Amino acid sequence: MQFGVFTIGDITQDPTDGTTPTENERIRNTIAIARHAEEVGFEVFATGQHHNPPFVAPASPPVLLSYLAAQTEKLQLSTATTLITTTDPVRIAEDYSYLQHLAGGRLDLTMGRGNTGPVYPWFGKDIRQGIPLAVENYHLLYRLWNEDAVDWRGQFRTPLQGFTVTPQPLDGVAPFVWHGSIRSPEIAEQAAYYGDGFFHNNIFWNFEHVKQMVSLYRQRYEYYGHGQRHQAFVALGGQAYMARNSQDAVREFRPYFDNAPVYGHGPSLEDFSRMTPLTVGSPQQVIERTLTFRDWVGDYQRQMFLIDHAGLPLKKVLEQLDLFGSEVLPVLRREFAALKPDDVPEAPTHEWLVERRRRGEQPVPGGREGSQAWIDEQESEGRGE
């Protein structure tokens, strides 16, 4: 099991003292958080991709992740979202191949459509075409990373003739891809079709919905012949705020929750905690709650936590990381490892992907004969040739 932290890079006023970090402060704080996450024992750091206030998460995540590659030694670098709908697949292929070389393979990506409607027209796209964009663009990206020269004609970008990505992926192996979605079964299907991972960022959703989406992905993963359903690659989101005394945790976090732009002024802290993965309490309560996630989705490979949000100052975020590192992560690792069957794979790393390719076990998109019909069906005006 990999444990990580992800950031959406929001710039939010601290409701307890009225201060708001500058963009520069928020960026510098993000770097400090990533470095400290590695120091306390987290394996993964992921950043979102935004193009609009109040977020300062990079519009081009490779910029931040390249800097962090030079600042860290073991940390797996990832994206909480790479906007596959509004970012040119050619640009994604080249930027992340280059970053993969700089990071020595410590890189994977999470593809997503994004949840900010105005972004689409800024880049000449139509949000009503979000699913077809995600399907066609990823199909092109997959080919760019797995073929030497690509001829392409699709609906949403200009044609390509004999195009070769430079640099090629490190060791001939593309970064592992997770497909992130909260509510779209088409994306769970897409992840299964390619034999990729499925990231359900369930921080706003009830567990019944999470269970349904992950179950769909697992069923289709097995259908396409990539392995048994319990062997599919699943990642989950989560949120936590801790204090050694649970009452102190609730008291400290309540003003941040109540005024957060994403969920403030809605359900109460207690209701939201009951319905979603948000856990506010002692380290033991975070341990017990996180272990229940397996009851809903089965054995999974990556657990991500959102910690630096809602206006929490850097000092409190670093204190949260310290509690995770000293009291939570060691227990979660031990407990999840004891429960995991031997035939359930660990989270993919570059070394694992290279070895899989050496053994000739690279997944074939669709697996079964005739499954190309899925892409033909999803792409409204034909696939690239």
pLDDT tens per residue across span 226-242: 999 999 999 999 999 99
In this prediction, residues 27-47 reach a mean pLDDT of 97
- Give the number of other Cβ atoms within 10 Å of residue 249's Cβ: 22
Residue among 174, 250, 184, 244 nearest 217 (CA): 184
User: pTM for the complete prediction?
Assistant: 0.92
Amino acid at 115: N
Q: Alpha helices, DSSP H only, in 267-368? A: 269-275, 283-297, 314-323, 329-339, 350-358
Mean of pLDDT over the chain: 91
* Distance from chain centroid for Cα 236: 8
Cα–Cα distance for residue pair 328/320, rounded to 1 Å:
10
Cα–Cα distance for residue pair 30/56, rounded to 1 Å:
10
The number of C-alpha atoms within 13 Å of 146 and in the hemisphere containing its C-beta is 14
Burial class (CB in 10 A: 0-12, 13-18, 19+), 342: exposed
- Is 2-378 CATH 3.20.20.30? yes
In this prediction, residues 122-127 reach a mean pLDDT of 85
pLDDT tens per residue across span 174-216: 999 999 987 789 999 999 999 999 999 877 767 888 999 999 9
My answer on whether omega of the bond before 54 falls inside 30° of 0, hence cis, is yes
My answer on whether omega of the bond before 167 falls inside 30° of 0, hence cis, is yes
Q: Is it the case that residue 45 has pLDDT exceeding 80?
A: yes
C-beta separation of 93 from 175 below 8 A:
no
Residue 384 banded pLDDT, cuts 50, 70, 90: very low
Q: Residue 281: what pLDDT?
A: 97
Q: At what angle do helices 130-146 and 185-194 cross, to 10 degrees?
A: 10
Q: Is it the case that residue 97 has pLDDT exceeding 50?
A: yes
Residue 37 banded pLDDT, cuts 50, 70, 90: very high
pLDDT tens per residue across span 51-65: 878 888 877 899 999
Cα–Cα distance for residue pair 292/335, rounded to 1 Å:
11
Q: What are phi and psi of 353, to 5 degrees?
A: -65, -40
Question: What are the residues facing 77 on neighbouring strands?
Answer: 45, 107
DSSP state of 167: S
